[in-house]
Amino acid sequence: MPESAQTWALTPAALASRAWIDATADGLVAFLLLAPSSTAIGLEDMAGLAAAIGLAGPQESMPAVGERVTVAGARAVLQVPEIGRAFRIVATEEWRLLVRRGGTIVILLSADPLPEGAAKADVDTHLRAGTAAGRLWLGKALRSGGTGTWVACGECSRCVSGTGRNRDPEAADCYAEWLDASVAAAALEARRSA
pLDDT digits (tens, 9 = 90+) for 160-180: 444 444 444 444 444 444 444
Alpha-carbon span 130 to 32, nearest angstrom: 15
Asked whether the CA dihedral 34, 35, 40, 42 is positive or negative, the reply is positive
Please give the C-alpha separations between residue 130 and each of 26, 84, 114, 135, 165, in angstroms, as whole numbers: 24, 26, 11, 5, 37
Cβ contacts of 186 within 8 Å, gap of 6 or more: 1, 81, 84
pLDDT in the model for residue 194: 53
Residue ranges of E strands in 54-166: 64-72, 75-80, 85-88, 104-110, 136-143, 148-151
Residue scoring higher pLDDT (10 or 18):
18
The CB-side HSE value for 140 (13 A sphere, CA atoms) comes to 10
The answer on pLDDT for 145 being more than 90 is no
- The CB density around residue 129, as the number of other CB atoms within 10 Å, is 13
Give the C-alpha separation, 14 to 9, whole Å. Answer: 8
Quick one: pLDDT at residue 32?
94
Q: What is the pTM of this model?
A: 0.72
What pLDDT digit, counting tens, does each position of 58-72 carry? 889 999 999 899 887
Rg (CA), the chain: 16
